[in-house]
Structure 1
Amino acid sequence: MNRLTRLAATLALGAGLALPAFAAPETYVIDDSHTFPRFSYSHFGLSTQQSKFDRASGTVTIDREARTGEVEIVIDMTSVNTGYADFNDHIQGEDFLNTAVHPTATFKSTQVVFDGDTPTAIEGELTIKGITRPVTLEITRFTAMPHPMLQRDAIGADATTTILRSDFEAGMFAPAVSDEVRIDIAVEAIKAE
C-alpha cells in the first residue's frame, strides 16, 4: 500500500508539472506624467482644434494569456488645456464640461478585445457630466516591456474613439463647431508593487 501511495503521489506531481502555467492578472497604475487624453474637432471648418487634459489617473489590469483585462481611467476635467487660458475657463462652463458640478469624467471597461495575446480594443462606458454612453477605444499601439528608467514592468498604448458632444449635453454651436469629437489617449502605466 505504501508503494501504491508513493506511485499515486508521483503521478499526481508529474501531472501537475505537465499542466500549462497560467499567468495571473497583473495590475498597472497609470503614470500621470505620461498619460494625456486629447480631443480634437473641426472649428467652423477652418481648422482642426486640438486640446488635452493635463491630469488623469487610473489602473489597467491585464492577463494576456487568459485574454482578459479591465481598464479604469479618471480624467480631471478642470485640467483642460486648450492653449488659451480664457478658453480653458469658457469650456469648463455649463454649456460644455460644467466642471463646477462634474469635475471628473470616467471611462470603465466592460470588455477588452484581444488578437492573440495583444489587446486591440476596449469596450466600455464613458461618463461625462454624469451622462454615461457606451464607447469603444480602438488600440492602435500596445507595448509591454520593462521600463528602462524605473526597472519595473510597464505597458503603454495609444487608443482612439469618436463621440458626439450632443450625447453629453455639450453640443453648443453644433454643427458649425463639429458635434463629432475625436478622443485620443496616450497611456503609460507601471506595474503595481
Structure 2
Amino acid sequence: MRKLLTVAAAAALPLLATAPAQAATYAIDPAHTFTMFEIGHFGASVNRGRFDEKSGTVEFDQRRKTGKIDITFKSASINTGTKAFDDHLKTDDLFAADKHPDIRFVSDKFIFDGDKVKAVSGKLTLLGQTHPVTFNANQFNCYPNPMANTEACGGDFVAEIDRTQWGMNYGVDFGMPKTVRILATIEAFKQ
C-alpha cells in the first residue's frame, strides 16, 4: 500500500506543477516587465518609447477570478533611443518628470472569459490626474518558473487612451494625435 501511495504521489507532481494559481502576491520582475507607448507622427511614422524603471505587485486568485495590480513607472526613465527626444518628453510639454515623477496604474478588477483573463480595469495616474483605463489581455498565464524557483504570473496587455484627458495637450493644435497606444508586458514572481 505504501508503495502504491508513493507511486501515486510521484505521478501527481507534474499535475501540481501546472495547477492554476492559488491566491498569492507576486512582485514585479523588472527584467520581464515593460510599458511602451506608441503615438502617430503626422501620419508618416510612429514614435515609440518605454519606461525603464518600474516596480509593483500583482495579487491574483485564479479560483475566485480576482486580482489586483499596483505598478509604478518613473517618468524620468523614459527611453526612446534618442536622447534629445527623451529630454523633450521629460519637460513640462509632455511628462513633466520633475513635477510628476511617477506614472501609476492601480487595478482591482480582472475580467475573465471562462478561465482566461480577458482584461484588467483600473485607474491610471499621469501628470497628477487619475482616470479609468482598461487593458485588454492578448495573453495571460501562471506557470512554475524554473529559474526563479517559484510560480510566475504574467501577461501581455494593450490599451488606447486619449492623452488630453490627463492634460497632455502638446502638439494637438498642430496635428499630433490625441490617441496613444500603451503596450504593457508584466511578469511577476510569487512571494
**Range of TM-score over shorter length:** 0.7 to 0.9
Tell me which residue corresponds to 1:191.
190
Tell me which residue corresponds to 1:111.
109
Measure the CA separation in 2 of the matches of 1:157 and 1:90.
Answer: 31
1:117 Cα deviation from its structure 2 partner: 2.7
Tell me which residue corresponds to 1:72.
70
Tell me which residue corresponds to 2:171.
173
1:24 Cα deviation from its structure 2 partner: 5.1
* 1:72–1:109 CA contact under 8 A, matched in 2: yes
Measure the CA separation in 2 of the matches of 1:63 and 1:37.
Answer: 24
Tell me which residue corresponds to 1:89.
87
Tell me which residue corresponds to 1:164.
162
Tell me which residue corresponds to 1:54.
52
- The worse-fitting range, judged by mean Cα deviation, of 165-174 and 93-102 is 165-174
Deviations 1:134-182 (A, max 9, x none): 1101011111111121121001200010011211111211162211000
1:33 match: secondary structure: helix
Percent identity between the two aligned chains:
37
Measure the CA separation in 2 of the matches of 1:178 and 1:151.
Answer: 44
Letter in 1 for 2:184: I
Letter in 2 for 1:26: A
1:112 Cα deviation from its structure 2 partner: 1.1
1:110 Cα deviation from its structure 2 partner: 3.3
- Which ranges in structure 1 are unaligned for 5 or more consecutive residues? 1-22
Measure the CA separation in 1 of the matches of 2:141 and 2:95.
Answer: 32
TM-align CA RMSD: 1.3
1:87 Cα deviation from its structure 2 partner: 1.1
* 1:35–1:187 CA contact under 8 A, matched in 2: yes
Higher Rg: 1
* 1:95–1:169 CA contact under 8 A, matched in 2: no
Measure the CA separation in 2 of the matches of 1:54 and 1:48.
Answer: 20
Tell me which residue corresponds to 1:124.
122
Measure the CA separation in 1 of the matches of 2:130 and 2:109.
Answer: 16
- Which ranges in structure 2 are unaligned for 5 or more consecutive residues? 1-20
The size of the alignment, in residue pairs, is: 170
Measure the CA separation in 1 of the matches of 2:101 and 2:152.
Answer: 29
